[in-house]
Amino acid sequence: MNGGETLDFEIRRNPQPVAAAERSALLANPGFGRIFTDHMVTVRYAEGKGWYDARVEPRGPIAMDPATAVLHYAQEIFEGLKAYRTADGGVSMFRPEANAARFRSSAQRLAMAPVPERLFIDSLEALIRVDRDWVPTDPEGSLYLRPFQYASEVFLGVKPSSEYLFLIIASPVGSYFKGGVQPVKVWVSRDYTRAAPGGTGAAKCGGNYAASLVAQAEAMEHGCDQVVFLDAVERKYVEELGGMNVFYVFDDGSITTPPLTGSILPGITRESVLRLAADRGHAVREEQYSYEQWRADAASGRLREAFACGTAAVVTPIGTVRDGDGEFTVGSGEAGEATMALREQLVAIQRGTAPDPHGWVHRVL
Ligand SMILES: *Cc1c(COP(=O)(O)O)cnc(C)c1O
């Protein structure tokens, strides 16, 4: 199958959807990733048959044989994107084509059958149409969409699975920052790396997250919110956070982010921020930046702002940086001006309240 192929969806409505009053109560304070809509998408794959049995069905547990390959060898990939309620009551997604393309490249790295891009987008749209009432109307809220795919063959041999299940679940989410955007404190991990050259760092696979959890726990033990990983070879250059890319803003107005050398996840927010920053007249560079330079530039004042970015929190200012030897602040330690301007413009494009010069908004309803 190539990227243009798709399937017809069988719609099996949930006979017991959450009642409207209960749904409204849940949507009033959804938090992140703890409540779910009434339905999910499932599409199956078998070698020699291709993708088949596309369905929107009631959300529920998946029965699994204990010898299912993913449980043993972690052949699993995922995506994360959001659907937004538009001012006229419709629904749109932000750059789902980019998620579809990244899902395909993640599949290739994990030796999995890729989901055709058209089928990926049609699956998202099919789920949104059925669960449209779950897209929050609150201007801070959105419907977080989680496509994922795993090896479903029942076999203990080590080889690429010959069967896969592709699913999408959806979770209404509120504002990531309660009470306004707050700068985060980050922990620079000296003991752990996230991804090495030739590894799976550029693929969005569950295994990368499993490997990052101990470093994230260490960050929290040291009073930090997030972990920053350095490169695995020299332990010198900043790569990214556990689930967010990183940016730097300098006193001459220029903006840099580490280059995509293969061990960094190619964030769609990262790419969008690069384009918006250039549109706004910033000189933008993708270049390696060492942790020592970060510390020196923060001390000299050359570095004015730092921020992290990703779908969940959009753009997050980095206020304080800590490692085993001590800590330093970036700029005033507060959210920077360029950081907040980029954040506001990106959020406004996503929500349809600002012009969309790059054609990023994908209208569904
Ligand atoms: C998903 C992810 C990001 C952010 O990607 P977006 O497409 O912007 O959401 C950054 N780093 C890692 C490790 C990720 O998994």
* Run of H or E including 299: helix 291-300
Sign of CA dihedral 353, 357, 360, 365: positive
Decide: 268 in ligand 1 pocket, CB within 6 A: yes
pLDDT surpassing 90 at residue 1: no
What does the pLDDT look like over 73-128, one tens digit per residue? 999 999 999 999 998 999 999 999 999 999 999 999 999 999 999 999 999 999 99
Set 49, 82, 185, 204: catalytic member: 204
Nearest ligand 1 atom to the CA of 245 is: 10
Burial class (CB in 10 A: 0-12, 13-18, 19+), 174: middle
Decide: 106 in ligand 1 pocket, CB within 6 A: no
- The Cα 123–Cα 43 span in angstroms is 9
Decide: 267 in ligand 1 pocket, CB within 6 A: yes
Residue 184: CB atoms within 10 Å? 20
pLDDT surpassing 70 at residue 334: yes
Q: For atom 2 of ligand 1, which residue has the closest CA? A: 243
What does the pLDDT look like over 10-65, one tens digit per residue? 999 999 999 999 999 999 999 999 999 999 999 999 999 999 999 999 999 999 99
Decide: 244 in ligand 1 pocket, CB within 6 A: yes
Average pLDDT for residues 187-192, to the nearest whole number?
96
pLDDT of 45: 98
Q: Is 204 a catalytic site residue? A: yes
Distance 20 CA to ligand 1 centre (A): 33
pLDDT of 175: 84
* Run of H or E including 172: strand 163-173
Distance 278 CA to ligand 1 centre (A): 21
pTM of the predicted structure, to 2 decimals: 0.97
Number of helical (H) and strand (E) elements in the chain, helices listed first: 8, 18
Pairing of strands 91-94, 184-188: unpaired
- The Cα 361–Cα 350 span in angstroms is 7
Which domains are seen in the chain, by residue range? 10-173 (3.30.470.10), 184-350 (3.20.10.10)
pLDDT of 2: 53
